[in-house]
C-alpha cells in the first residue's frame, strides 16, 4: 500500500521520483542530486538529532522545476551548521534555493585584502602593514604604486626593509619582547600573505585555492576545529589592528622599528 500523500506538493514530488531517465548523463545528474540530498539529511539527523526529530520542514524542494534546489529541510540544516559549527554566509544559504551544494561552501574569514575591490575600503591598520608582507610589498610595487602608500601614510618607501631581507625568527623574538599587541605582528603578516595554515583565514575570494570538501562528518568536524582556531587568531590579530588605529603613524613607527632591526641580522 502506498504511503499517504500529505498534500499536492508532496504528491508531485513523489511522481517526479519516478521520472523517466532519457540518457546516462541525466541518470548521473539525478543520482548525484539524490545522493547529495540524502547525505545532507543523514548529516542533519546525526549532528542535530533533536532538531531533526522536531522539524516540520518539507524534505523536498519547493521549486519543482529546479531539481538542483535544496529542500527546506536541507536549508534548515545549513542554518544550523552556520549557527553552531562554522560560518556559512546568508547569501550562500539563499543561493541554496537555486543551486545545490555538492561540496561544503567555504568563505574567506581572514583579511582577504586581495579580494577587496577597492584597497582603500580595507581598514587602515591593515593598509599600513601591507609592505611588511611579501604579497603586499609586491602588490604595492607592481599594481597600486608606492606613491599611493607614501602619500596616504607619510612613510618613505625606502625606509621600509624588504620582506625578503627579514629574519623571521628575530622578528618573532623582538615582537614577543615588545608590548602585547606587537606580539601578534608576525601572525598579522601571515594573514596578509595567506600563510596562516588555517583554511578559513587563507581562503581568498578572488584567487581561490583548489579546496574541495565533500559533505562528510569528518570534513565538518575538521572545519569546525579550524574555525575555533581561526577565531582565536582573529581575536589576537585584531588586538594589534585596533591598537595601530588608535594612533596610526606613531604606533606604526614602533612596528617599523622592530621590522627594520629584524633585517640587520638576516
pLDDT tens digits along 185-198: 999 999 999 999 99
Q: Give a yes or no: residue 100 inside a domain.
A: no
Burial class (CB in 10 A: 0-12, 13-18, 19+), 71: buried
64 and 138 inside one domain: no
Q: Give a yes or no: residue 107 inside a domain.
A: no
Q: What is the pLDDT of residue 90?
A: 94
Domain count, the chain: 2
Q: What is the pLDDT of residue 180?
A: 86
126 and 228 inside one domain: yes
pTM for this structure? 0.85
Give every residue of the chain whose pLDDT is below 70, as ranges.
Answer: 1-29, 31, 64, 116-117, 205-210, 265-266
Tell me the three state secondary structure of residue 97.
coil
Strand partners, 214: 103
Would you state the cell numbers that stand for residue 75, as one nine-digit string? 536549508
Q: In 10 A of CB 79, how many CB atoms?
A: 14
48: left (phi over 0), alpha (psi -120 to 50) or beta: beta
89 and 130 inside one domain: no
Q: Residue 249 sits in which domain range?
A: 113-261
185 and 233 inside one domain: yes
pLDDT tens digits along 80-117: 999 999 999 999 999 998 899 999 999 999 998 987 66
Amino acid at each position: 500500500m502506498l504511503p499517504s500523500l500529505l498534500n499536492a506538493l508532496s504528491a508531485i514530488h513523489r511522481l517526479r521520483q519516478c521520472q523517466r531517465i532519457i540518457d546516462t548523463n541525466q541518470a548521473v545528474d539525478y543520482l548525484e542530486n539524490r545522493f547529495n540530498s540524502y547525505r545532507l539529511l543523514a548529516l542533519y539527523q546525526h549532528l542535530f538529532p533533536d532538531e531533526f526529530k522536531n522539524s516540520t520542514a518539507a524534505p523536498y524542494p519547493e521549486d519543482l522545476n529546479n531539481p538542483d534546489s535544496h529542500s527546506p529541510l536541507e536549508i534548515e540544516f545549513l542554518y544550523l551548521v552556520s549557527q553552531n559549527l562554522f560560518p556559512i554566509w546568508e547569501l550562500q544559504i539563499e543561493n541554496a534555493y537555486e543551486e545545490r551544494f555538492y561540496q561544503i561552501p567555504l568563505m574567506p574569514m581572514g583579511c582577504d585584502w586581495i579580494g577587496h575591490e577597492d584597497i582603500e575600503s580595507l581598514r587602515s591598520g591593515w593598509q599600513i602593514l601591507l609592505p611588511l608582507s611579501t604579497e603586499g610589498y609586491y602588490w604595492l610595487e607592481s599594481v597600486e604604486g608606492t606613491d599611493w602608500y607614501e602619500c596616504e601614510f607619510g612613510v618613505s618607501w625606502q625606509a621600509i626593509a624588504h620582506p625578503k631581507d627579514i629574519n623571521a625568527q628575530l622578528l618573532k623574538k623582538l615582537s614577543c619582547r615588545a608590548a602585547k599587541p606587537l606580539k601578534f605582528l608576525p601572525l598579522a603578516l601571515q594573514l596578509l600573505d595567506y600563510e596562516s595554515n588555517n583554511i578559513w583565514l587563507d581562503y581568498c575570494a578572488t584567487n581561490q585555492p583548489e579546496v574541495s570538501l565533500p559533505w562528510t562528518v569528518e570534513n565538518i568536524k575538521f572545519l569546525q576545529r579550524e574555525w575555533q582556531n581561526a577565531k582565536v587568531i582573529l581575536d589576537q590579530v585584531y588586538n594589534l589592528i585596533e591598537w595601530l588605529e588608535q594612533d596610526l603613524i606613531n604606533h606604526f613607527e614602533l612596528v617599523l622599528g622592530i621590522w627594520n632591526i629584524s633585517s640587520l641580522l638576516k
